[in-house]
Amino acid sequence: MNELTIRINKKHSEAFSLTVDLLLPNRGVSALFGRSGSGKTTLLRCVAGLEKSEDGEIKLNGKSWQSANYWLPAHKRPIGYVFQEASLFPHLTAKGNLDFAIKRADSKRKVIDYADVIDLMGIAPLLEKYPHQLSGGERQRIAIARALLIQPEILLMDEPLSALDDELKHDILPYLENLCQRVQIPILYISHSIDEVIRLADYLVILENGKAVEQGATQAVLGKLPTTFTQHQDTSILITGTIIEQNNEWGLSTLHFDQHRMMIRQGDENIGDAVRLRVQSRDVSISLSEEDNSSILNRLPVVVDALIKDPQDPSTIMVRMLAGNTPILASITALSAQKLKLHQGQQVIAQIKSAAVLR
Amino acid sequence: MLLSAGDIEAIWLTIKLAVLVTLLLLIVSTPIAWWLARTGSWLKAPINAIVAMPLVLPPTVLGFYLLIFLGPDGALGARLNQLGLSPLPFSFRGLVVASMVYSLPFVVQPIQQAFSAMGQRPLEVAATLRSSPWDRFIHVALPLAKPGYLSAAVLGFAHTVGEFGVVLMIGGNIEGETRVLSVQIYDHVEALEYGQAHLLSLLMVAFAFCVLALLYAVQKRSNSTTSIGPY
């Protein structure tokens, strides 16, 4: 019973309809990932009650918000909603915006303390200012704080970073990460940025043309062979591990995951930190020899799990390998696959040229 | 040259009329403007047109129809008569009703515009903050529409002060009851009392200028705190 059920059947136009039937965990961050026009925002608005689907069922923790003959209006749903643009009330100060939520919050439920929210979002110095005196990132932090202070049972975030430039995104992501780890409520997070998904999401739903084409734990979904090859070049996987060693002489950190070790360029992480790495499939190559005679540091013994051709680009093949339980994808040329005689079950060495530390 | 007792009486009557009409119109116009700003109904165009009619109709035409409509044999006048109420034409109350019709577009339109300009977003935001429809209206829509209300009040007031044709048609020229400032000026001119006419006219010009200057000054200042923009 303790989960989020989202069943929506909504016809938008002749060309587009949203048809999803999701059962999401009631904890952690679930990302809804897809391009613009895939129906992500419509889905979130249906969950919030801002839009109605003729036919649908929305249920959280056993309580129904919508069913065949029942409809709970948005203002009665225990949600917090963060819009793409911060949408603060311009006639109120930052504090006034927060008070708007505090006054109307459900007094029976305490998700987070006022002081914690202020601290978490780092907004203490901004409270007396009006929205037009704040930067885009500051406004969005206030908006997130406001959505939390309503003491919601679920936090809905509609691409909260998309209206910000890269620098601001970079500034605000750590706040979001802290938030995602701190609050005990589920977060439904819409994004079209794979980086954000890898940094934040535990659970991932991929939407395409109003349908959920993949869903599951983030790592597992990203490690699946793509069903459509349109994003071939951008395909990325997620490696989560712990820093176990740091070599200051070479400026490298060693990461441990699934009985494997990887070296990454040393950043601001410390020994014992859990990190998330993004590895793009085009940065992974395959070698048959165990001999360490290349410049690539990270050579992982893996087992080939599957191969798939790109119908649009016959010269490329995507290879799925398993390093323990962690899937790794490599995008290589068909010619190389032929030369190496790659097949399922084969033991090979995956050479990872570079990895981005996202957290 | 000083104002005569009649002049002062006319000024006082005009202010009383304008204040009353403005207050009543702000109340009446709010639901009309709200509906016009949000509806997708086919009725929107005809209702908009009806509201805007006084803008293009000659005041005498408006006054003429009101006179017929409110007169003892008119559709509404007869009904009021039955209820034992005194007829509206040539009374202060009649003037109030006529002025409300005449100034309606000047009050509805700025408010309607303010409601349209804020869009759906602030209300949706409020809804996700557990704010009921009524609460949203009072604490979000009204404050955001404040500049619109200000324009509406100023324009409605100023326009009522300045009306002449409708007043003459429906109110006539009864001292202390319907003789407002514009009619008083007309009387002075008729009687070739150009000095008095000058004085009152100058007062009106100064009043109009002050009101509009104030309006623009306030509008400029409140822009930043009411436009939802990218905030």
CATH number, position A243: 2.40.50.100
Check B129 against A85: CB less than 8 A apart. Answer: no
CA distance A288 to A294: 12
Q: Does A87 touch chain B (CB under 8 A)?
A: yes
Contact A194, A358 (CB under 8 A): no
Q: What is the pLDDT of residues B158-188, one digit of tens each?
A: 999 988 889 888 888 888 888 998 999 999 9
How many domains are there within chain B?
1
Which of A46, A92, A100, A158 best tests the B interface by mutation, with the highest count of B CBs <10 A? A100
Q: Above 60 in pLDDT, residue B42?
A: yes
Confidence band, pLDDT 50/70/90 cuts, at residue B231: very low
Check A90 against B230: CB less than 8 A apart. Answer: no
Q: Above 80 in pLDDT, residue B219?
A: no
Last residue of a domain, one of A222, A250, A280: A222
Confidence band, pLDDT 50/70/90 cuts, at residue B5: confident
**What b-and-e string marks burial along B187-219, b requiring 16 or more CB atoms within 10 Å of the CB?**
bbeeeeeeebbebbbeebeeeeeeeeeebeeee
pLDDT at B216: 85
How many domains are there within chain A?
2
CA distance A21 to chain B (A): 23
Check B124 against A74: CB less than 8 A apart. Answer: yes
* Residue among B122, B129, B133 minimizing CB distance to A104: B129
Q: Are residue A241 and residue A333 in the same domain, yes or no?
A: yes
CA distance A37 to A44: 13
Q: Does B226 touch chain A (CB under 8 A)?
A: yes
Last residue of a domain, one of A167, A202, A222: A222
Check B130 against A106: CB less than 8 A apart. Answer: yes
Contact A13, A39 (CB under 8 A): no
Residue at B212: amino acid letter: L
Confidence band, pLDDT 50/70/90 cuts, at residue B1: low
- Chain B's closest residue to A94, CA to CA, is B231
pLDDT at A30: 94
pLDDT at B229: 47
Q: What is the pLDDT of residues A185-243, one digit of tens each?
A: 899 999 888 888 888 899 999 988 888 888 899 888 888 876 554 454 568 888 989 99
Check B125 against A87: CB less than 8 A apart. Answer: yes
* Residue among B127, B139, B228 minimizing CB distance to A75: B127
A204: helix, coil or strand? Answer: strand
Average pLDDT, chain B: 89
- Mean pLDDT of the region B135-140: 95
Q: Are residue A212 and residue A80 in the same domain, yes or no?
A: yes
Supply the pTM of this predicted model. Answer: 0.84
Q: Does B227 touch chain A (CB under 8 A)?
A: yes
Residue ranges in chain A modelled with pLDDT below 50 = 229-230, 232
Secondary structure (H, E, C), chain B: CCCCHHHHHHHHHHHHHHHHHHHHHHHHHHHHHHHHHHCCCCCHHHHHHHHHHHHHCCHHHHHHHHHHHHCCCCHHHHHHHHCCCCCCCCCHHHHHHHHHHHHHHHHHHHHHHHHHHHCCHHHHHHHHCCCCHHHHHHHHHHHHCHHHHHHHHHHHHHHHHHCCHHHHHHCCCCCCCCCCHHHHHHHHHHCCCHHHHHHHHHHHHHHHHHHHHHHHHHHHHHHHHHCCCCC
Asked whether residue B116 is assigned to any structural domain, the reply reads yes
Q: Above 80 in pLDDT, residue B134?
A: yes
Asked whether residue B125 is assigned to any structural domain, the reply reads yes
Check B128 against A81: CB less than 8 A apart. Answer: yes
CATH number at residue A193: 3.40.50.300
Asked whether residue B230 is assigned to any structural domain, the reply reads no
Owner of token pair 């649009």: A312
CATH number at residue B38: 1.10.3720.10
The domain of B86 spans 5-223
Q: Are residue A26 and residue A89 in the same domain, yes or no?
A: yes
Last residue of a domain, one of A204, A222, A240: A222
Asked whether residue B229 is assigned to any structural domain, the reply reads no
Q: Above 80 in pLDDT, residue B88?
A: yes
Check A90 against B227: CB less than 8 A apart. Answer: yes
Q: Are residue A36 and residue A160 in the same domain, yes or no?
A: yes
Contacts of A112 (CB under 8 A, 6+ apart): A120, A148, A149, A151, A182, A183
Residue at A158: amino acid letter: D
Check B124 against A150: CB less than 8 A apart. Answer: no
Residues of B in contact with A91 (CB under 8 A): 143-144, 146, 225-226
Check A75 against B132: CB less than 8 A apart. Answer: yes
Residues of B in contact with A85 (CB under 8 A): 230-231
Check B128 against A48: CB less than 8 A apart. Answer: yes
pLDDT at B224: 55
Examine the predicted complex and report whether its ipTM is higher than 0.90.
Answer: no
The domain of A313 spans 231-357
Q: Does A75 touch chain B (CB under 8 A)?
A: yes
Q: Are residue A217 and residue A348 in the same domain, yes or no?
A: no
Contacts of B148 (CB under 8 A, 6+ apart): B110, B111, B112, B113, B114, B115, B117
Asked whether residue B62 is assigned to any structural domain, the reply reads yes
Confidence band, pLDDT 50/70/90 cuts, at residue B225: low
- Mean pLDDT of the region B67-78: 86
Confidence band, pLDDT 50/70/90 cuts, at residue B84: confident
Asked whether residue B228 is assigned to any structural domain, the reply reads no
Q: What is the pLDDT of residues A90-124, one digit of tens each?
A: 999 999 999 999 999 988 888 889 999 999 888 99
B61 burial class (0-12, 13-18, 19+ CB within 10 angstroms)? middle
Q: Are residue A209 and residue A277 in the same domain, yes or no?
A: no
- Chain A's closest residue to B224, CA to CA, is A132
- Chain A's closest residue to B144, CA to CA, is A91
Higher pLDDT, B148 or B222: B148
- Find the farthest-apart pair of alpha carbons in chain A and give their distance in angstroms, rounded: 68
Asked whether residue B92 is assigned to any structural domain, the reply reads yes
Owner of token pair 């905030």: B231
Q: Does A86 touch chain B (CB under 8 A)?
A: yes
pLDDT at B56: 92
Alpha helices in chain A (DSSP H): 40-48, 94-104, 114-121, 136-149, 166-182, 194-200, 218-222, 334-340
Nearest CA to A44 out of A154, A179, A163, A172 is that of: A154
Residue at A211: amino acid letter: K
Q: Are residue A68 and residue A195 in the same domain, yes or no?
A: yes
Check A136 against B224: CB less than 8 A apart. Answer: no
Which of B118, B123, B128 best tests the A interface by mutation, with the highest count of A CBs <10 A? B128
Q: Does A168 touch chain B (CB under 8 A)?
A: no
Asked whether residue B231 is assigned to any structural domain, the reply reads no
Q: What is the pLDDT of residues B198-208, one digit of tens each?
A: 999 999 999 98
Q: Are residue A54 and residue A198 in the same domain, yes or no?
A: yes
Q: Are residue A177 and residue A290 in the same domain, yes or no?
A: no
